[in-house]
Structure 1
């Protein structure tokens, strides 16, 4: 049995379907709040409603599982959690429960830039979870992703449908390495299929683009619209002022400023060279998928 924590999210849903397609028995654990549980679970999938804030729930989730995938995150939550409570504390709680239950292998989804002194709280919390997993005594794999490509394409497209423009935070010129959801799922499947990624931390990206490139691609795909920018100065104000009112908005502004610095880019070819059998699913393919749906 493979437990997918955060299995109702973008990556978790994709991964669950692919695991079932490969004949695996899958258990999905989620709160069912930020993303609802499906009305009818697919064959081969057991749904467990549980919170990473509860040691009891974590224990129920991992019971009888040989592998665990941690795909939950508090970064995008407007309420009910944040990077500290989900990406660090929740992960540590789950790691402890998995170790006690005799889980063999844990795959941790993390982010490029995770470090003890990273400028974003989110990245510091991810690093703390990575270190706890490495010290757990279980086999482990850490997959550090770039920014989720589909998430940004979706968020940029939404105001296009309602206001006729796409939103770009900052100058939009800095390079950012993106990881598509299919690419992230492929890396997890690789980690689960054998020992090649055991005891390894990999940085797994698809393609590097600027936000201007993404915006222009979205506009070309839609055949209409214009670009609206939120200046860097406004982002700095938002990062400072919004925190007591909307920690979510402050978090988004700080992340945008970090991306503006250029630190969100890396060379995905370095890690991908070892796994040429995994095709790159990048911007063009993701836009084609949006067009087909």
Structure 2
């Protein structure tokens, strides 16, 4: 059995679907107030409602599992968790439980830019979890995604239906390497099945786009609209002023400032060449509701 931590999140849902489709027996660990599960979940999928803040829940979740996929994140949560409580502390509790429970292999979803001195708390928390996993003595695979493509498309498109506008963060000119949910899930499926990926940290991206390019694609797909730009000074203010009432928006603003610096861009070409059978699921497919 494979445990998927965060199995009801944007990435987790796709990972569960793909692994179930590959014939794997799965257990989802999800919070009691997570997104509702689909009415018809794939066969062979067990659900465990637990909390990453509880050591006993983590121990129960890993019981009987030979592999774990940690796909939970506090970055996009509007309530109920933060990067510190989920991406670091929650990951460390799952890691401790996995070691005690005899789990063979843990796949950790991380982010490009994770480092001890990263300017974003989110990236520092991811790096702390990575380091703990590398020194755990367990078999491991770390997948460092670029910025989640669907998350930013959704955030930018939020005012489109009512106001006919797409949000662009900052100048919109800086290159950013985005990773689609489907692309990330495809590599998780490979990491679970292929022992050759153990002991590797993989930087995984779908394509490089600017926010202006994303906005143009969103507007073309919608058949019209205009751009509402949030200038850099406003992002700086939002990254601080929004913390008390909307930590999520504060994190989004801080992330946009980091992206404005160009540090969110990397070339995914070399890593993708090692997996030529995994097709690129990029911007065009992410905008297609049939994909």
Q: TM-score range by the shorter chain?
A: over 0.9
1:229 counterpart = 2:229: yes
Q: CA offsets, 1:14-65, max 9 Å, x none?
A: 1111111111100000104241233443311000000100001101110000
TM-score normalised to the size of structure 2? 0.97
Q: For the residues of structure 2 that align with 1:186 and 1:213, how far apart are their CA atoms?
A: 25
1:262 counterpart = 2:262: yes
Secondary structure in structure 2 of the residue aligned to 1:236: helix
Residue equivalent to 1:87: 87
Q: For the residues of structure 2 that align with 1:140 and 1:184, how far apart are their CA atoms?
A: 16
Residue equivalent to 1:13: 13
Residue equivalent to 1:195: 195
Asked whether the 8 Å contact 1:34–1:77 carries over to 2, the reply is no
Q: CA offsets, 1:152-198, max 9 Å, x none?
A: 22222221111101011111100000001111011101111121210
Q: For the residues of structure 2 that align with 1:34 and 1:162, how far apart are their CA atoms?
A: 27
Q: CA offsets, 1:63-104, max 9 Å, x none?
A: 000000000000111221100000000000000000000000
Secondary structure in structure 2 of the residue aligned to 1:48: strand
Q: For the residues of structure 1 that align with 2:213 and 2:40, how far apart are their CA atoms?
A: 39
Pairs within 5 Å for 1:106-185? 106-185=106-185
Residue equivalent to 2:35: 35
Pairs within 5 Å for 1:282-293? 282-287=282-287, 289-290=288-289, 292=290
Q: For the residues of structure 1 that align with 2:15 and 2:277, how far apart are their CA atoms?
A: 18
Q: For the residues of structure 1 that align with 2:110 and 2:277, how far apart are their CA atoms?
A: 23
Residue equivalent to 1:186: 186
Secondary structure in structure 1 of the residue aligned to 2:209: strand
Stretches of structure 2 that go unaligned for 5 or more consecutive residues are none
1:99 counterpart = 2:99: yes
Q: For the residues of structure 2 that align with 1:12 and 1:248, how far apart are their CA atoms?
A: 19
User: Aligned pair count?
Assistant: 291
Shift of 1:136: 1.0
